[in-house]
Amino acid sequence: MPQYEIQLKDLIRILRRRRNIIFFSMIVLGVLSIVFAKLQSPSLLYQAIAKVNYDQTRSLAGITSPVYYFSPYDNINSQTKIITSFPVLEKAAKKLGYLNKKLSSSEILKSKEHMAVILGLEGQIRCEIEENTNIINIKVTSIDPAMASDIANAVAEGYRDYNREQINKRTIDTKDFIEKQLNLVGGRLNDAEENLKNFQQNRNIVALDAQASNDLNSLADLETEYEKLNRENNDLSAFKRRLSSKTISGGEIFPILEEDIYSNLFKLNTELQKLLLERDELMTVYTVNHPKIIDLNDKINNVLNLITVDITSRISSNGVRMANLNKDITIYKERGAEYPADNLSLAKYEREVKLQSDLYAELSSKYQEILIQESGMVVEVGIVAPALVPGAPINPPKIFSSLFIGMLLGLFLGIFFAIVMENLDTSIGTIEDVESYLEIPVLGVIPSITVMTEQKGEEPDVEHHRASLLTISMDPKSPVIEAYRSLRTNLIFLHQEKGIKTFMVTSSSLQEGKTINCINIAVTLALGGYRTLLVEADLRRATIAKTFGIERSPGLSEVILGIVPWREVTRDINDILLGGLEMDTLIKSPELANLSIITSGAFPTNPSELLSSQQMAKFIEEVKAEYDLVIFDTTPVLPVTDAVLLSQKIEGVIILYEVGKIARGVLKRTKSHLDSVKANILGIILNNVRPEYGPEYYDYHYQYYYEEGKPPRRVSDWERFKESFSPQHISRTIADILATLARPFRKKEEKK
């Protein structure tokens, strides 16, 4: 439908009129923002970056096959945590001279002063991994550029030294283990060779025949494989018992076989190490009862359970394989029983010598490898680029951006003050100016229901249900009820003096409370004993049916089109009761039987033509003869022409105006539109009147009802001045301003 764009023009007019306020606000806020930026600028911070490379070394010597050792230090992401961990920061603090080099780790942990130094360093450090590389950037922020560079380099060196100690500690531990195994295997090899030599000399047997040699070699291979699986199961069982002891801590090394590096066990073990490392770091700050430590312990226990399940499955699988091997071994042993006992004994001694010899050779090879690693000192961390002294701060003062933000805030604040001053202007915003400006009488003053609830000490409800705004739902002593009674008196006077029976209520724009006032006027007239008909002549946005909970169709549009007679679409008190009105309300107000309602009906495509038709005029004449008074609820005047056309057929037109909502030019234009068609404008109803728009009205009328039994007291100018700065008044003013700003956009959305 056509829409009269008025609010945006009014806003532009306000901004042009109050442009000095806007400019002044922008200049003041801009200057203040520069001053504030200067005064509140933080200390200049400098950032130094040291780059370290992490080259992971995994393989160490094993016993029977390559063994890979995985610890918390094997993951590049874990390295960023290690750099800021206590051991590394301890080394860095000692290098910088912040802590005495003779202090032990336990002494530092027990001292709050020493731990404050460690935590201070940790707060200055941030680690980042360069994308798709093994390079870690150690970023240190400080107010002193030289200090930032020194700390970054000290942390990088401390991290390198700590990593070297941890990696080579594994090498030393492995070397000690292999040395013990070499001594043990060497003794067994000497015994086996001596036993073989003695047997050959005593029995005068040098070698076996070919068939017996093949069978016994196959038996030896099967027994070797069986023994390997048995050792693996023993290792896994020991590992499982170690996990179940719940005493694992970060930094411990767990052996994983070469074939397991792509298995689920490897993934779970890696995840376990990350959690253990994180827990050890937090333990330097929190106790075991801290929620973070408890949460990490729960996660660690879950991973331990998964690892235990995986190990159990592996042991079971190996057991099945060992059972099959045992069957084959039994077959070969039964076949070997057919050979002479001396042959079997000789084969046994030779097999033992071969087994111990192979094992000793492999251990010797691994021992040589570990000696090479020990002599070379394995290094995983290297300093790629030491930190340089930064030349510029990372947080320079942002004067221009502060100026821009200040002037932008000044612009919005200036617009805000401009609208506030315009709203506080006494042009059309007060009751006494309405009659002089429009030259028509004020028939009624309807107070704001929100203000009434505030004066009672109740919480205002701006989204109250429409049915609760009806006078039949209010306290009979409410000032709102008295206001409608006063309006009823004026309408009855017009009816008796001028013989007017049909009244049309319209407004300038949408959402001024026109429909709810039409309903309350009709209800008040019916309660006064007058047979009243309420006609919903707004064929575009009907809401009367929703308010009473009755059917919208059939209604007025069907009557005008001649589809149904108007008496058949007239609703009475029975329909209202079925619509949801409470029985108690009807019992207290039996005069509601005088009220009849005709809803809008189906929305036609040509509402203006229907309302200006002869059928509409005939309908009006018929209802005039049937009822004492007829109230027509119509569309606003400015958005569409329906109300202007219908005003030619109605005996009296009443304009409803929500005080302070629209500009004076809009209200004047509304009256001009009605005057152009010679409509009989009886007067105006002021809706949603607040104390600031009608102080005299509130002083002498509203106070009387709220202080019953006391003489009316005039509110002083000082009290009125203080009231204008009350939180309730300020909140209402802000709400009105926001509503004014949003109304053009809301209308555009409704138009769409």
Do 498 and 642 lie in one domain? The reply is yes
| DSSP letter for each residue of 122-154 | HHHEEEEEPTTSSEEEEEEEESSHHHHHHHHHH
Same domain, 87 and 223: yes
pLDDT score recorded for residue 460: 40
Task: Confirm whether 681 is domain-assigned.
Answer: yes
- φ, ψ for residue 657, nearest 5 deg: -135, 125
Do residues 177 and 320 share a domain?
yes
Residues 486 and 501 in one domain: yes
Q: Is residue 391 part of a domain?
A: no
Separation between Cα atoms, residue 60 and residue 74, nearest integer Å = 14
Specify the length of the chain in residues.
752
Among 480, 484, 602, residue whose Cα is nearest residue 539: 602
Tell the residue number behind the tokens 């200057």, with chain if given: 31
- Residues whose CB is less than 8 angstroms from the CB of residue 519 and which lie 6 or more positions away in sequence, other chains included: 470, 534, 544, 547, 633
Domain match, 553 and 516 both: yes
Q: What is the distance between the alpha carbons of residues 297 and 285, in angstroms, rounded to a whole number?
A: 16
Q: How far are the Cα atoms of 671, 679, 695, 743 from residue 421, in angstroms, in the given order?
A: 26, 35, 18, 19
* Residue in 381, 375, 358, 350 with CA at minimum distance from that of residue 160: 381
Last residue of a domain, one of 329, 353, 385: 385
* Weakly modelled stretches of the chain, pLDDT under 70: 1-10, 13-14, 17, 56-75, 168-173, 196, 199-217, 245-263, 284, 334-349, 351, 372-379, 422-433, 449-468, 579-587, 660, 690-752
3-state secondary structure of 684: strand
CATH number at residue 601: 3.40.50.300
**46 domain-assigned:** no
| 440 and 349 share one domain | no
Cα 533 from Cα 632, distance rounded (Å)? 8
Q: CA nearest 228: which of 309, 328, 311, 321?
A: 321
Within a domain: 30: yes
Instruction: Locate 550 and state its tokens.
Output: 């009755």
pLDDT at position 368: 77
390 within domain boundaries? no
Q: Please write the tens of the pLDDT for every residue from 295-306.
A: 888 888 888 888
Are 431 and 421 in the same domain? no
Same domain, 700 and 752: no
According to DSSP, residue 51 is labeled: E
Number of domains the chain is built from = 3
pLDDT at 75: 65
Phi, psi torsion values for 132, nearest 5 degrees: 60, 30
Angle at 457 between CA 456 and CA 462, to 5 degrees: 90
In a domain, 392, yes or no: no
Sequence-ordered list of residues with C-beta below 8 angstroms from that of 612, at least 6 positions apart, any chain: 645, 646, 648, 649
Residue 393 forms part of a structural domain: no
Burial of 391 (0-12, 13-18, 19+ CB in 10 A): exposed
At 701-748, the pLDDT tens digits run 444 444 444 444 444 444 544 454 455 555 555 555 555 556 555 555
Helix (H, G, I), strand (E, B) or coil at 614: helix
- Parallel, antiparallel, or unpaired for β 502-507 and 652-658? parallel
CA-CA distance, 513 to 641, in Å (whole number)?
19
Range of the domain at 577: 426-460+468-715
The span from the CA of 736 to the CA of 660, in Å, is 9
CA distance linking residue 503 with residue 456, whole number of Å: 34
Q: Which residue has the tokens 């003794």?
A: 187
Query: For residue 278, what are its two tokens?
Result: 């994180």
Q: Rounded CA gap, 402 and 424, in Å?
A: 32
**Whether residue 192 is found in the same domain as residue 244:** yes
Do 232 and 308 belong together in one domain? yes
SS3 254: strand
Burial of 488 (0-12, 13-18, 19+ CB in 10 A): buried
Same domain, 405 and 478: no
Q: How far apart are CA 65 and CA 321, in angstroms?
A: 19
What is the Cβ-side half-sphere exposure of residue 671, based on CA atoms within 13 angstroms? 18
Q: How far apart are CA 494 and CA 651, in angstroms?
A: 11
Q: Write the DSSP symbol of residue 429.
A: S
One domain for residues 605 and 645: yes
- Please give the Cα distance from 78 to 134 (Å, whole number): 12
Are 691 and 698 a contacting pair, CB within 8 Å?
yes
Domain assignment present for 208: yes
pTM of this prediction exceeds 0.85: no
